[in-house]
Chains A and B, each alone.
Chain A
């Protein structure tokens, strides 16, 4: 009996060390290697441009459409609640603050993780499975500098732009529903928004959030791809893990960042 319990504990501990601690250490070392080898992605910037195209430009449609719909839903729901207190003019404040502070970075980050992060992981994982990475090493080309770092920087550059587009589209969606459809006064919609939204506190903090999420998502994506077992199964598992881990990372980081940024004055 005790032997079985001990065995179970050992198996659990082994899994914990192998799956979590070891991988976390490797991931950290991998991030350091990526940053160290980043010179190439800026010296030969067309490598990064190509990745910005795949991570950013191809995510545009989903980001813009989702942003518009999220903003329109916020407009409808916000109006429904605010009109009970006779302050429907505050709709602009509600829509813009919730988008700029939270929904823009978070939802854009989640969409980015599932749209671009999974693609990065699958691509790098397949390159590893088909031994393209080993072939590069044979030719004295560092796969981290040539393959990983440009994808990392492409994602990090794309993410704040996508989050800003999401928020801007959302504000526009809220404007469409609130002002055009329902008929909230246009002047007070914008002026109350401008009075309540602060550049440093809200916009800059939102951009910082999206930048942090961009680093987290692309780091997880390139690491999972690089670490994927070189089989079809391994690549599919790594792709799933990218989406799950980066979504959790976004939500957890969002709580930490919000607690740091908006403690209330």
Chain B
């Protein structure tokens, strides 16, 4: 039979590596260290069409992840999608920054790309980005292509 001291030691080791595994999962796998709600600010953007954008999709500028999509709602007045982004507090963008919905790779996920403008005033929490470009929807693209082809055909006649 083990003494109580030995038992305590083993259980202590078990608890330590168990908690270590949880920390590993939180910090290395989930990367908890970045973009917790406390050190981020919210910016809104309105899009005509968000395509397949999902909550928690990355917000990138120049390819660097600067934030995450926090919330997606539908505006009943303008019939537009309102995307709320949580931007890391250490990143600042000028007031005339534009937002685009882009796709990473051919089958990749959709994300928001921010292109900074030249304004000297920076975006504050709660501000709305004016210049936006919607997601590319394949069906619309094909429709446009067919329409153009038909128009070309008409012009030749």
Contact = CB atoms under 8 A, between A and B. Distances in A.
B28 to A, nearest CB: 7
B4 A46 contact: yes
Contacts of A73: none
B11 A52 contact: yes
A165 B29 contact: no
B107 A49 contact: no
Interface residues of B, number: 31
Residue among A49, A96, A207 with the highest chain B CB neighbour number at 10 A: A49
A256 B109 CA distance: 28
Interface in A178-199: 190, 193-195, 197-199
B107 A195 contact: no
B24 A168 contact: yes
Tell me what chain B mostly uses at the interface: helix, strand, loop, or mixed. Answer: helix
Contacts of B65: 195
Interface stretch (B42-50, B51-59, B79-87, B91-99): B51-59
B26 interface: yes
A169 B17 CA distance: 11
Interface residues of A, number: 35
Contact of B10 (A57, A162, A167, A193): A57
A251 interface: no
Interface string B60-71: 000001000000
A203 B31 CA distance: 11
A198 B2 CA distance: 41
Given A49-B8, A100-B29, A164 B21 contact: yes
Contact of B29 (A87, A194, A207): A194
Interface in A39-95: 46, 49-50, 52-53, 56-57, 60, 85, 87
A202 B31 CA distance: 12
A161 B10 CA distance: 14
Interface of B: 2, 4, 7-8, 10-11, 13-15, 17-22, 24-26, 28-32, 54-56, 58, 65, 105, 107-108
Given A53-B10, A87-B105, A199-B30, 19 more contacts: A46-B8, A49-B7, A49-B8, A52-B15, A56-B18, A57-B10, A160-B18, A160-B22, A161-B21, A164-B18, A168-B20, A168-B21, A194-B29, A195-B58, A198-B30, A198-B56, A203-B29, A206-B25, A265-B54
Interface of A: 46, 49-50, 52-53, 56-57, 60, 85, 87, 96, 100, 158, 160-162, 164-165, 167-169, 171, 190, 193-195, 197-199, 201-203, 206-207, 265
